[in-house]
Amino acid sequence: MQLLTVNVGTPERSEHTGAPGKLTGIGKQPVTGPVRVVAPGPRGEGGSGLVGDAVCDLRHHGGDEQAVYAYAREDLDAWEKELGRELPAGAFGENLTTLGVDVNSALLGERWQVGSAVLQVSSVRVPCRTFAGHLGEERWVRRFTERALPGAYFRVVEEGALAAGDAVKVTWQPEHSVTVGLLFRALTGEPELLPRLAEAEEWLPEAGLARLRARAG
């Protein structure tokens, strides 16, 4: 299991975002050399956990709960076959493109060591119109939701540096069965799965907690 590339974005204009100035940082490119990873701060104030990576819509993206986003090269390859187009590393706006890692089977709260940084699985990516506009694919939000290969967001537990080629080591797993994929399905097209999130309540992101409590009544 390894980190194939580290990807960062710079602000660019997009008509598909409601961010100030119509700017987005979703277009990410692989970089060479180590990148510093830090805890960016709470939502609305902090952006990306990768130094030099742009997050332009702080209302909906970034912050400690969404500090780092990872997506598997294997899942990008599957999308390449379906869409009939090349999807280079960073195409989904991911900070980390992994190889040999089943990102969607990671457990909420699970910890990874990558380089000298320690990251913890904290949330899932829910598709938005900025993502759809970036890819330019018809019915993209629906297609991404139906496939349920969302990738994982991480919080930064220990700051450090990481680089392409670093090993990805799972150093700790909690005692529950709520995976990234299960959380995504519960929050999107399969609300009947929401009760299963209760076993991982202490690890749930804000959106998951809100939906679980609403379901409980």
Summarize pLDDT for 116-151 with one digit per residue, the tens: 999 999 999 999 888 988 999 989 999 999 999 999
The residue among 79, 75, 93, 78 whose CA lies nearest residue 30 is 93
Q: Is the pTM of this model over 0.75?
A: yes
Q: What is the CATH number of domain 2-216?
A: 2.40.33.20
Q: Calculate the CA dihedral of residues 137, 4, 148, 209 and round it to 10 degrees.
A: -120
**Which class for 150: exposed (0-12), middle (13-18), buried (19 or more C-beta within 10 A)?**
buried
91 pLDDT more than 70: yes
Say whether pLDDT at 169 is over 80: yes
What's the angle, vertex CA 185, arms to CA 180 and CA 189, rounded to 5?
160
- Whole-angstrom Cα distance, residue 202 to residue 132? 31
The domain limits of the chain are: 2-216
User: Residue 210: what are its φ and ψ, rounded to 5°?
Assistant: -65, -45
